[in-house]
Structure 1
Amino acid sequence: MLRRAPLYFFLGLLTSSSCFIFSVAAQVPSTSNSQQSSTRSEAQAASWFEAHRSQPAALRAFVQRMPKGGDIHSHLSGAVYAEHYLEWAATDGYCVNPNAGTLVEPKACNQDSSYFPASELFNRTSVYDSLINRWSTRNLQFAGKSGHDQFFEAFAGFGTISDSMSRRDDMVASVANRAASQHITYLELMLTVQGSEVRQLGREVGWNQDFQAMHEQLLKRGLTELVTLGSQQLTQLESEVAKTLGCGTPKPQPGCTVTVRYLQQTTRTKSPVEVFAQLAYAFALASSSKQVVGINLVAPEDHPIALRDYTLQMQMLQFLKRQYPNVKVSLHAGELTLGLVPTENLRFHIRQAVEVAQASRIGHGVDILFEERPFELMKQMQQRGVLVEICLTSNEVILNVQGNQHPFMEYWKAGVPMTLASDDEGISRIDLSHEYLLAATRYGLAYKDLKRLVRNSLEYSFAPGNSLWKSPEFKAMVPACASDTPGDTSVSTGCSTFLQKSDRARIQWQLESEFTRFESLQNWL
């Protein structure tokens, strides 16, 4: 008979403000009965899903309530809705230039008599609406530009707020609360810490084709000190987010239940020395800060500098990965399509991200079928466990790729691990639930297929620690927890010990417990 923990014990999540409590129970259902009940409940949920397949509104309600694990491809600044930026602008004393349709920082509000306080926006709805349209892809058909241009130009509109630290806690809190409302419990948010300072250091050091020598100079001239400052900023941010959400108080906001971690991003459209400095900083920060679990490259992949320096940047990543082998790498790669760039640029980006830069995950991967030997590459990704972060709405808006033009089903048939991600919820005016609805309706996915995509979001997350599962097929849990049932009121001592040692396993256990509760519902509307 399995021995149960004699006391209440806590399985702390990655944030200090959240934990799960498992109580002791002298008697628990037998494993076989629990598994049979779980299988029945899963079948009932799957049956309901199929019965309502022709009712998109009902499916939306279903996926809204369905546990979704993690959103591991989300840009913090683009995930915030424009309405929140306007609310903060009004509170913080910003003004509006109605002629240019831009925000004016408080210190410059008296430079032109036509400027008016952002607090008046709520009474000037035409300007208010136009700013939301500029800062998102809402009413894209009237924007007078492509989805690609509208999307990437949106960031500049709210940049004065999103780039500062003053509202970063509110930004994270907003995204975390929205995640909680969708039953998402883990976020990996892309953000930049100490970006301008690191780029300046790079310019001071100067370009050197010898990566080792350049890296040594960066360290010698202040990179380590910047990493220390960055770590301190992130620790402070974590504390401020918890305070903003009221975590640990009698009235915590829903976002307190969400574990938030970060990917330090590098802007790929800068000069080579600036990109190298950013990457060197990102790797060092990820290796020293518990809040940063990996790194990524951001900005349009079709930008002329990004295209010119693509191979060089992959070589930089290869060098730094060797210096910091434990740092996880996720890369935007293949966010391109025919007509956007010359065809030669479609033939090697994903392959170099996988083979040269040693990326564990690929963001978007839309142009995979334009790569040289695409099916051989997908086979390699399947064997190496390189996950693709699929962003359906983003790919439709930016690249005009959707339906059977999207490589979703080719990845699926090739067995490449995949998950769904939101990319930029605020700019795209969506949420992750919408992406699951799109996948289900466009590609005929069954409930068990959605469940695999959800589980993949945590299995391939960069949360540290061993997996709860023996293999990515999710057929059996590790021996320590094989006889335990998520959702039960107690767990064995061996399982609790295992979960306490692994952040990844803890959030996976939470997901499975939530699946148990979700599938036990009698009505999913």
Structure 2
Amino acid sequence: MIKSTPRLNTLLASALLAIGLSAQPLQAKPVASDEAQTARFFAHLLSGTPKTSILNLFVTQLPKGGDLHHHFSGAIYAENYLTWLAAQDGKIDSCTLRVVQAGSSPATGCQALSVAQLQQDNAKYRQLLTLWSDADYGNHFHLQVPPDSNFFNTFSYFGALAMPNAAQGLASLKQRAIDENVSYIETMFSAVGFKQNALYEQQARIDEVNRALRLASSQAEVNAVLEAVVGDVQQSAAFAPVLQSYIGKLEQAHQGIDDERFMMRYQTYAARTQDPLQVFLDLYAGYRVAAQSPLVVGVNIVAPENNYVSLRDYTLHMRMFNFLNERIKVSNGNTSRAMNLALHAGELTLGMVPPEDLQFHITEAVDIANARRIGHGVDISYEKEPLKLMNTMKSRDVAIEINLTSNEFILGVKGNDHPYLLYAAYDVPMIISTDDAGVSRNNLSNQYLLLATRYSPSYKTLKTYVYNSIRYSFLNEADKRLAYRRLDKSFVQFEEKMAKLYQKVKHKPHHSR
């Protein structure tokens, strides 16, 4: 046996180094975490020509947290509406392809078709889909209305079917969400429905209030008119029953929605195309409902932003929110907080409206109405002081709801024309959402696919947007903590699966024809 000595050990180490070996014990190469491997996998899928089919699998399996910009009636597919209509033995006008309302008849010379009859006529069925959604809009030449009109017109076809089938609608949206790994939806459900002629029987009084609101040129003048209206509402015996009826119907429709996998909460809203008085009554009723029902977590304002009335009354509407913010607080445990507002603002682009109408909508939603989230925000680069505005949004933690498909269809804004890159550069928090998935015939997974293929975000960024959908939700703190825990668990499972899939595909050659 050769005795080991320090000199012999030194000579042995030198010899090993000379032939490229280490005298140190071999160390196992550290294995990358599942999260790190998933990040590499995502980068691999985006490299070169994106591997879209595998990427589609990736984003479908991705835990997506919440869908925060979501319209209940517009999220339901036309096929679902037809199923409900058939179950009620409802009819479709063969000429207009609108629902034949109970007690009415189809247009002269037209037939009242059953859903089965309609579906047997493939041409008519396909035509209905183009009217009740955006199906086939860009696939072939035909006489078309402008895309934004096509989008918003769809609601007049299926709108009457939404509320009577609310429970079925919510259940179908829940199942569809679970199927694509969405665990929370915050949907714009409906207006409360207190009408101006229920408050004032005399049309002259309605006209007087509307005229006063339109002529008001300052916040103080608006407040003075609205104070008087609120006083009248408080004297109205019809108001409280409308609120209670709304809450009761919502609670009934919501039964069975929340469980260990999923939650849903609701916003109510006003339509900005109506008389100023009606807009205010809808907003006021919405604030009052949200103050009473834990299911209603926010108030919004909807309808086309480029409509004449919407443009004329925009600042007035923001002042209505300002007025209500000061007067109605929502209970938050032992304290109270301001109303949660996620306002549609900046869903405009050059050419839709005169340039001056692009300069202030997002700014006023943030500064006057005190919105916590902005829906769309597409015209940011046309605002008067866009850089200051984005810095304000970042400092106040005001998030942007990014709706890629509807922005492309309604506004024609996509790719590098979309302000996504601008908001990203200024670190404005962003949330990926669907808007009206039934009308657009897509889902939240597809929005993440578009985001990935258009802008190549890192996996860390992608994950940030998912967690933002809980962080900027209007859930109460207890429910938000629960949603975070569910999301954490889902990501552990997702990243374990994706790490294994990455090992299978990363060395496979990619053939092209």
Report the TM-score range of the alignment, normalised by the length of the smaller protein: 0.7 to 0.9
| Structure 2 residue corresponding to 1:231, chosen from 247, 257, 274 | 247
1:202 touches 1:274 (CA, 8 Å); kept in 2? no
> For the residues of structure 1 that align with 2:348 and 2:406, how far apart are their CA atoms?
12
Q: What is the Cα deviation at residue 460 of structure 1?
A: 0.3
2:176 is aligned to: 178
Give 1:101 shift.
Answer: 2.3
How far apart, CA to CA, are the structure 1 residues paired with 2:240 and 2:104? 35
* Cα distance between partner residues in 1 of 2:368 and 2:198: 26
User: Does residue 219 of structure 1 match 2:234?
Assistant: yes
Amino acid at match of 1:95: K
Q: Give the Cα–Cα distance (whole angstroms) in 2 for the partners of residues 111 and 448 of structure 1.
A: 56
Matches within 5 A, 1:80-479: 80-108=76-104, 114-141=111-138, 142=142, 144-162=144-162, 165-195=163-193, 197-204=194-201, 206=206, 207=209, 209=222, 210=224, 211-221=226-236, 222-239=238-255, 242=256, 257-325=261-329, 326=337, 327-465=339-477
2:333 aligns with none
> Post-superposition shift, 1:47?
0.9
Could you say if the C-alpha distance between residues 301 and 202 of structure 1 is closer, same or farther in structure 2, counting changes exceeding 3 Å?
A: farther
1: CA distance, partners of 2:235 / 2:495:
56
Equivalent AA in structure 2 for residue 50 of structure 1: A
CA-to-partner distance for each residue in 1:31-84, whole Å, 9 max, x for gaps? Answer: xxxxx99x8111111111112222111111000000000001000000000111
Q: Would you say the 8 A contact 1:314–1:357 is kept in 2?
A: yes
- SS at 2:457 equivalent: coil
1:361-393 CA deviation, whole Å, 9 max, x = no partner? 000000001001101100000000000000000
Matched letter for residue 300 of structure 1: P
CA contact (8 A) 1:201 1:218 kept: no
Superposed structure 1 runs of 4+ greater than 6 Å apart: 110-113
Instruction: Find the counterpart in structure 1 of residue 218 from structure 2.
Output: none
Task: Say whether the 8 Å CA contact 1:227–1:285 is kept in structure 2.
Answer: yes
Give, in whole Å, the separation in 2 of the partners of 1:404 and 1:427: 24
Task: Please report the TM-score for the alignment, with normalisation by the length of structure 2.
Answer: 0.82
Structure 2 counterpart SS, 1:140: coil
Q: Could you report, residue by residue, the CA deviation over 1:74-130 in whole angstroms, capped at 9, with x for unpaired residues?
A: 000000001111111111111122122222124335886722222322212221111
Whole-angstrom CA distance in 2 between matches of 1:109 and 1:43: 63
Structure 2, unmatched stretches of 5+, are 1-29, 213-221, 330-336, 506-513
Q: Which residue of 2 aligns with 1:15?
A: none
The one-letter code of the counterpart of 1:170 is Q
> Based on CA coordinates, which of the two structures has the bigger radius of gyration?
2
Give the TM-score normalised by the residue count of structure 1.
0.80
Query: C-alpha separation between the residues in 2 aligned to 1:408 and 1:203?
Result: 45
With 165-174 and 419-428 compared, the bigger mean Cα shift is at 165-174
SS in 2 for 1:463: coil
Deviation at 1:428? Answer: 0.4
Deviations 1:452-472 (A, max 9, x none): 00000100000011xxxxxxx
**In the alignment, is the contact (CA less than 8 A) between 2:167 and 2:252 conserved in 1?**
no
**CA deviation after TM superposition for structure 1 residue 335, in Å:** 0.2
- The match for 1:46 is 39
Say whether the 8 Å CA contact 1:202–1:277 is kept in structure 2: no
Alpha-carbon shift at residue 520 of structure 1 (Å): 1.2
Contact 1:95 1:109 in 2 (8 A): no
CA contact (8 A) 1:369 1:407 kept: yes
CA separation of 1:460 and 1:110: change in aligned 2, threshold 3 A: closer
Q: Does the CA contact (< 8 Å) of 2:192 and 2:282 recur in 1?
A: no
Q: More deviation in 98-107 or 391-400?
A: 98-107
Q: What SS does structure 1 have at the residue aligned with 2:103?
A: helix
* 1:51-62 map, 5 Å: 51-53=44-46, 54-62=50-58
Structure 1 stretch displaced more, 135-144 or 176-185? 135-144
Mapped partners of 2:318, 2:228: distance in 1: 18
The separation in 2 between residues aligned to 1:397 and 1:176, in whole angstroms, is 25
Distance 1:370 1:110 in 2: 46
Closer, same or farther: CA 110–64 of 1 in aligned 2, 3 Å: closer
Amino acid at match of 1:412: A
- One-letter identity of the residue aligned with 1:149: S
Which secondary structure state, in structure 1, belongs to the residue aligned with residue 183 of structure 2? strand
Q: Is the 8 A contact 2:199 2:232 kept in 1?
A: no
CA distance in 2, matches of 1:409, 1:385: 18
Q: Is 1:518 matched with 2:499? A: no
Q: Percent identity?
A: 36
Deviation digits for residues 430-470 of structure 1 (CA, Å, limit 9, x no counterpart)? 100011011111111121111000000100000011xxxxx
Q: 1: distance between equivalents of 2:57 and 2:200?
A: 51
Letter of the 2:117 counterpart: E
SS in 2 for 1:416: coil
Which deviations, in whole Å up to 9, do the C-alpha atoms of 1:211-253 show, x marking residues without a partner?
Answer: 22211211221433322222112111112xx2xx7x88xxxxx
Which segment drifts farther, 209-218 or 358-367? 209-218
Q: Where in structure 1 are there 5+ consecutive unaligned residues?
A: 1-35, 249-255, 466-501
> What residue number does 2:22 align with?
none
Tell me which moved more, 120-129 or 286-295. 120-129
